Amino acid sequence: MRTRQLIVTALAALGLLALNDDTQAQMRASEPDLKAAIIINMAMFVDWPAQGGLPGNQLVICFITDSPVAGALGKAQGKTMRNRTINVRKVALDALAGCHVAYLAPDEHERLQQIQSAVRNAPVLVAGDTPALFPEGSMLNLELSGGHVVFDVNLRSAQKAGLQISSKALRLARKVIE
């Protein structure tokens, strides 16, 4: 378990290094920055089916509500990772289907049914950092555990949405629901 936490931390640190040249900032990365880095890195290990209207050279990450993690994701705007430009957008609920990744802030639990309807049958990786959202359809859940940011993957929900997540990324997860 300790090895897995170290690997997850290393994954987040690599993402931060790729997104930000300030090495000192990497050493003091906040929880929202680490969560954002994991979301972005995980997205790099997802294969999406052809999505009309979304350019293949972009990774479109959306959020509905401002939050510390949404702000941290915004720092990646315009950065390039694995030949894909990161495009972070605040969107209305009905625009979530036009995104690669939808980050749900903790207070989105109250609107979960509406969110699920908005992304139903759309290949959108739904990520959040609220354990209550995870069993109800969130595909990637981030938590602070033992002083480390860890993540769980709901592979069943991801596959239902037509997403394929690399086994390399799944090995780093604390828990995978199949």
Q: For the chain, list the domains and their CATH numbers.
A: 2-177 (3.40.50.2300)
User: What is the SS3 assignment for 50?
Assistant: coil
Q: Give every CB contact of residue 127 below 8 A, 6+ residues apart in sequence.
A: 39, 42, 101, 102, 103, 104, 138, 139, 140, 141, 142
pLDDT at 123: 93
Segment 4-14 mean pLDDT: 48
Q: Which residue type, as a one-letter code, is found at position 109?
A: H
Global pTM reads: 0.83
Lowest mean pLDDT among 17-21, 64-68, 86-90, 167-171: 17-21
At 169, is the secondary structure helix, strand, or coil? helix
> How far is it, in rounded angstroms, from Cα 86 to Cα 90?
13
Residue pLDDT, tens place only, 86-104: 999 999 999 999 999 999 9
pLDDT in tens, 111-128: 888 998 999 889 999 999
Amino acid letter, residue 174 = R
- Identify whether the C-beta of residue 169 lies closer than 8 Å to the C-beta of residue 47: no
- Beta-strand relationship, 148-154 and 84-90: unpaired
Which range (27-31, 43-47, 69-73) has the least confidence? Answer: 27-31
Q: Is a pLDDT exceeding 90 seen at residue 3?
A: no
Q: Does 58 score more than 50 pLDDT?
A: yes
Cα–Cα nearest to 177, from 158, 156, 163, 160: 156
Q: What is the pLDDT of residue 50?
A: 73
Under the banding of pLDDT at 50, 70 and 90, the label for residue 1 is low
Q: How confident is the model at residue 8 (pLDDT cuts 50, 70, 90)?
A: very low
In angstroms, the CA 131 to CA 138 distance is 9
pLDDT at 53: 57
* Assigned token pair, 126: 């739904």
**What single letter denotes the amino acid at residue 38?**
I
